[in-house]
């Protein structure tokens, strides 16, 4: 069986991730390259591993996390659907069995808040891992005076932590926000839809979702 580490070594996949991120650079988006997809893969793996899912299921969700934004090589619009199709071709070429391809493709195709629904446990874990990646070093623009709201919100987050409690009833996204750069209201202006999707994803996994910003519980 092919592993997450083997998928990461694919030169073709590396090239697609680089090209996809280059498209987003030209559009002024925050970082969506190896740092983001690796972090998403690891967070998604942490979620299912902590909840006691089989090792192979954890491996599959990590692969989905690594490939989830590859559709940006086609277009940002509906990138989750185009990414799912690209992932299907890649995984089929690598020799993954149909059932595993189906699980990964379904997760990728449902990770975006515009059209995504947590239809499976893999999709739910991928949503939570992806939407919780808010951090200062995702901002590429170094001119603070030229920040848009997405830059301000990401730059303001000095610490981000996604944790499941010991009794596996709650998943909490805890953010430390420097309000010199962005207000809590700015965060909700651009991320409210994502947080609603995170709550649905948590429910799919039998969890409650909580959001804390600067030690204040908001969701």
Question: What CATH number is associated with residue 193?
Answer: 1.10.3210.10
In this prediction, residue 170 carries a pLDDT of 98
184-203: average pLDDT: 91
1-28: average pLDDT: 95
106-130: average pLDDT: 96
In this prediction, residue 17 carries a pLDDT of 98
In this prediction, residue 74 carries a pLDDT of 97
Is the distance from CB of 176 to CB of 113 less than 8 angstroms? Answer: no
Question: Does residue 38 surpass a pLDDT of 80?
Answer: yes
In this prediction, residue 47 carries a pLDDT of 98
Is the distance from CB of 7 to CB of 63 less than 8 angstroms? Answer: yes
Q: Indicate the average pLDDT of the chain.
A: 95
How many domains, the chain? 1
Question: Does residue 126 surpass a pLDDT of 80?
Answer: yes
CA angle 20, 25, 28 (to 5 degrees): 130
187-210: average pLDDT: 94
pLDDT range class, residue 114, cuts 50, 70, 90: confident
Q: What are phi and psi of 175, to 5 degrees?
A: -120, 140
Q: Which domain holds residue 194?
A: 4-217
In this prediction, residue 188 carries a pLDDT of 84
Closest CA to 68 of 42, 49, 97: 42
Question: Does residue 217 surpass a pLDDT of 90?
Answer: no
pLDDT range class, residue 184, cuts 50, 70, 90: confident
Instruction: Give dist(CA 96, CA 1) in Å, integer.
Output: 8
pLDDT range class, residue 52, cuts 50, 70, 90: very high
Ramachandran quadrant class, 78 (left: phi over 0; alpha: psi -120 to 50; beta: rest): left
In this prediction, residue 218 carries a pLDDT of 81
CA angle 194, 132, 11 (to 5 degrees): 110
pTM of the predicted model, to two decimals? 0.95
């Amino acid at each position: 069986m092919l592993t997450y580490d083997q998928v990461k070594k694919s030169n073709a996949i590396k090239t697609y991730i680089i090209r996809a991120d280059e498209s987003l650079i030209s559009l002024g988006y925050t970082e969506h390259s190896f740092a983001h997809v690796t972090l998403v893969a690891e967070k998604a793996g942490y979620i299912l591993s902590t909840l006691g899912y089989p090792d192979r299921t954890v491996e599959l969700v990590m692969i989905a996390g690594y490939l989830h934004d590859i559709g940006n090589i086609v277009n940002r619009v509906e990138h989750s659907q185009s990414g799912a199709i690209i992932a299907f071709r890649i995984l089929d070429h690598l020799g993954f069995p149909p059932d595993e391809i189906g699980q990964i493709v379904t997760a990728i195709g449902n990770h975006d808040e515009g059209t995504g629904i947590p239809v499976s446990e893999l999709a739910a874990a991928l949503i939570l891992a992806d939407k919780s990646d808010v951090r200062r070093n995702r901002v590429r623009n170094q001119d603070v005076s030229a920040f848009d709201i997405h830059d301000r919100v990401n730059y303001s987050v000095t610490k981000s932590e996604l944790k499941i409690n010991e009794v596996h009833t709650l998943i909490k996204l805890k953010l430390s926000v420097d309000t010199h750069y962005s207000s809590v209201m700015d965060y909700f202006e651009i991320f409210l839809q994502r947080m609603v999707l995170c709550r649905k994803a948590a429910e799919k996994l039998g969890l409650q979702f909580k959001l804390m910003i600067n030690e204040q519980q908001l969701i």
